Structure 1
Amino acid sequence: MNRKETFCEHCKKDVLYTEKYQSISAELKGEAYNYNGKVAICDECNNEVFVNEINDYNLEQLYNEFRKQHNIISLEKIIEIPEKYNIGKRPLSLLLGWGEQTFSRYYDGDMPTKQYSEILQKIYDEPDFFLSILESNKDRLKSQSAYEKSKLSTQMLIGTKMTSDTAKVDVVVSYLIRKCEDITPLALQKLLYYVQGFYYAFVNQFIFEENCEAWVHGPVYRDIYFKYKEYRFDPINVLEAADDQNLTVSEKAIIDSVIKHLSCYSGKVLEAFTHAETPWLATRGDLPASVSTNRKIEKKLIADYFTAVKEKNNMINPSDIGVYSKKMFEQTFIM
């Protein structure tokens, strides 16, 4: 819980307040919606106080719930589209045959119509669809370079999508989602990281090729993040297809041990673990805690760290991962 200062109408002075999450009901366009919002509670009189930032947050959550109920593309996905396809907001509007400012309005929070929402959702989901629009309407763009940059990025996305269907990282992710109960995107990222590290410690090679990055909330595998980003703080509830045949006995043994000894902790606890470990710390360097970065955590850092962990804790088999998880919890939250 965060404690900040605001004016309390009951105490008639500036006070510290505590943010709390709670279920909120509100109306929008004549319909009632329930969403997970925040309230600010005065630390002195225990009454609710008004805070602009919290009000803005609740409005955003209300509109997000409206979008979900009416199958309108989320604002987060709209914001990701220009970055995903390496194209500006105005060129994108022109490409789609819309007014120059139309996409910018949606990017800034305006609600798209159902028809435009469906187009944007399909663009977000299907790089092939966007590429067909780009090729068909490239004459609408004001510069050849805008077309070429976007085409290159889109082709790279399509290539990544084609190869990722059978990538080992996807197999591991599917296995984790099916075996873990109520796994959030944050917890998934951390468990994936620990699978990679402990697999190397026991087998002396990595289980998959993908690199992770030293994000604010710990190690993150970028493609996996975007795949499940829409779940935010909620458990991932998609039913991943079984793919156990693509995992060896030793791979399953190590993944199962990671699940047993680390999935019992929340994503935030696992985040705290990684914040105390060398690979994330060394990659972040002197960056402030809240500053974003896409610095890759070198695989050698992961290999050296988890090999040292195995040796230091006399870990003989994967079941000994529990020794490390218990020790990390005690060091992080008890000492």
Structure 2
Amino acid sequence: MAGRRRTFCMECRKETAYALHKTLITKTIREKEYQFLITTAYCKECGCEVGVKGILDYNAKEIDEQFRKAEGIISTDEIEKLGKIYNLGKAPLSMALGFGEVTITRYLAGQIPSKEYSDIMRAALSNTKVMRELLESNRDKLADAAYRKAVSAIEELDALFSVPSKMLMVISYVFEQLGEVTPLALQKILYFVQGLYFSKYEIPLFDDNCQAWVHGPVYAEIYDMFSSFRYDPIDDPRFELLKGKSTNLNEKEREVINLVVNTFGIYGGKVLEKITHRENPWIDAREGYLENEPSQEEISKEAIKDYFVSVRTKYDLNTESGIMDYIHNMLDQA
């Protein structure tokens, strides 16, 4: 549908320019009525709907995605990630889940799973314990090589996600809100979440301690988890396992994370690094170190608390505008 956006209009009897719009349609699927927003093309000259190459396939994809969302059905992308996460091909994955040998192949070709089978796949996608139980239940259906590969993948995943659960909840929620984030930016966002939560409630949101590295405050375990991405956005099917872990965050915790995401979160990692380099917790912990000299000096939670409590006396940290005032002031000094 991309390109010069011209097509033949049956009403005008000539090639004309067209525009794309969203149209609400009603369809009945399995004796149940649904409403879908699909993309339609209209002639710019007469306003009539026109046909565009590829639009019917695109509409089918739109309807499929919206239907699955409405019914809570797993997507084909998620099913693909399930196989990648546990290092299993289509047939072995089907057998490991307790399905027929060609079931996953059919699902990846577009067949919509039942809610029961969808829930099984979703559970395995979000919890390695569930997948391990399924593997053991269906052990006799799997070749030894496939079984060992899946067990090895589970062990690697469990090691990767061995950080405290509260930190994983916060990371999961940040991913949900931002969609895309680099390891550097994530580190600073976690630090600011801790700082703002401290300033408001005078207790830490999570117990993890950060260190004063050259590029600002860093949570070492989180660095290890995402180090392979360096300065690139975090994108790996394994991190699908983080989805949904944020559900146990309470309203107070979500409120503070939202404030940070909507303010600090609009900046890149290097900008956030500059801000932390103007703040006392990092500066004091780096005392005696050269500018680019590595260190693993701990930034105490007490230092973070004291600093952000003092910031709250000057800025309204309960509002996005107050936080933005603080950010602008720190960047002006950088």
For the criterion TM > 0.5, the same-fold answer is yes
> Could you tell me which of 208, 211, 226 is aligned with 2:240?
226
**Aligned residue for 2:79?**
78
Closer/same/farther in 2, CA of residues 3 and 31 from structure 1, 3 Å limit? farther
Q: 2:149 is matched by which residue type in structure 1?
A: K
Task: Give me the whole-angstrom Cα distance separating, in 1, the residues matched to 2:116 and 2:78.
Answer: 16
Answering whether residue 231 of structure 2 is matched by residue 211 of structure 1, we say no
Count of residues in correspondence between the two structures: 261
> The residue matched to 2:100 in structure 1 has which SS?
coil
What does 1:112-151 correspond to in 2, within 5 Å?
Answer: 112-142=113-143, 144-151=144-151
Higher relative contact order (CA 8 A, sep 6+): 2
- Contact 2:180 2:234 (C-alpha < 8 Å) held by counterparts: yes
**Aligned residue for 2:170?**
171
> The residue matched to 2:26 in structure 1 has which SS?
strand
1:85 is displaced (CA, Å) by: 1.1
What does 1:225-264 correspond to in 2, within 5 Å?
Answer: 226=240, 240-241=249-250, 258-259=260-261, 261=263
Task: Give me the whole-angstrom Cα distance separating, in 2, the residues matched to 1:23 and 1:214.
Answer: 43
**Aligned residue for 2:327?**
321
1:146 is displaced (CA, Å) by: 2.1
1:155 is displaced (CA, Å) by: 2.1
Answering whether residue 202 of structure 2 is matched by residue 187 of structure 1, we say no
> The residue matched to 1:111 in structure 2 has which SS?
coil
> The residue matched to 2:59 in structure 1 has which SS?
helix
Task: Give me the whole-angstrom Cα distance separating, in 2, the residues matched to 1:155 and 1:69.
Answer: 34
**Aligned residue for 2:152?**
152
Closer/same/farther in 2, CA of residues 145 and 97 from structure 1, 3 Å limit? same
Q: Higher Cα Rg: structure 1 or 2?
A: 2
- Contact 2:94 2:104 (C-alpha < 8 Å) held by counterparts: yes
Task: Give me the whole-angstrom Cα distance separating, in 2, the residues matched to 1:68 and 1:9.
Answer: 35
Task: Give me the whole-angstrom Cα distance separating, in 2, the residues matched to 1:325 and 1:10.
Answer: 58
- Contact 2:169 2:248 (C-alpha < 8 Å) held by counterparts: no
> The residue matched to 1:94 in structure 2 has which SS?
helix
1:225 is displaced (CA, Å) by: 6.2
1:162 is displaced (CA, Å) by: 4.4
* Percent of pairs with identical residues: 25
Answering whether residue 187 of structure 2 is matched by residue 196 of structure 1, we say yes
CA displacement, residues 44-70 of structure 1 (integer Å, 9 cap, x when unaligned): 433322335332233233233333444
Q: 2:178 is matched by which residue type in structure 1?
A: A
RMSD: 4.5
Task: Give me the whole-angstrom Cα distance separating, in 2, the residues matched to 1:214 and 1:38.
Answer: 38
Alignment TM-score, normalising by the size of structure 2: 0.59
Q: 2:50 is matched by which residue type in structure 1?
A: V
Closer/same/farther in 2, CA of residues 59 and 103 from structure 1, 3 Å limit? same
- Contact 1:185 1:225 (C-alpha < 8 Å) held by counterparts: no
CA displacement, residues 125-174 of structure 1 (integer Å, 9 cap, x when unaligned): 332222122234334234x332222211122223344435133x643665
Task: Give me the whole-angstrom Cα distance separating, in 2, the residues matched to 1:19 and 1:325.
Answer: 41
> The residue matched to 2:133 in structure 1 has which SS?
helix
- Contact 1:73 1:121 (C-alpha < 8 Å) held by counterparts: yes
1:10 is displaced (CA, Å) by: 2.8
1:104 is displaced (CA, Å) by: 0.4
The unaligned stretches of length 5 or more in structure 1 are: 177-183, 231-236, 245-251, 264-269, 275-301, 327-335
Q: 1:196 is matched by which residue type in structure 2?
A: Q
Task: Give me the whole-angstrom Cα distance separating, in 2, the residues matched to 1:241 and 1:154.
Answer: 29
1:87 is displaced (CA, Å) by: 0.1
Closer/same/farther in 2, CA of residues 76 and 308 from structure 1, 3 Å limit? same
Task: Give me the whole-angstrom Cα distance separating, in 2, the residues matched to 1:93 and 1:238.
Answer: 29
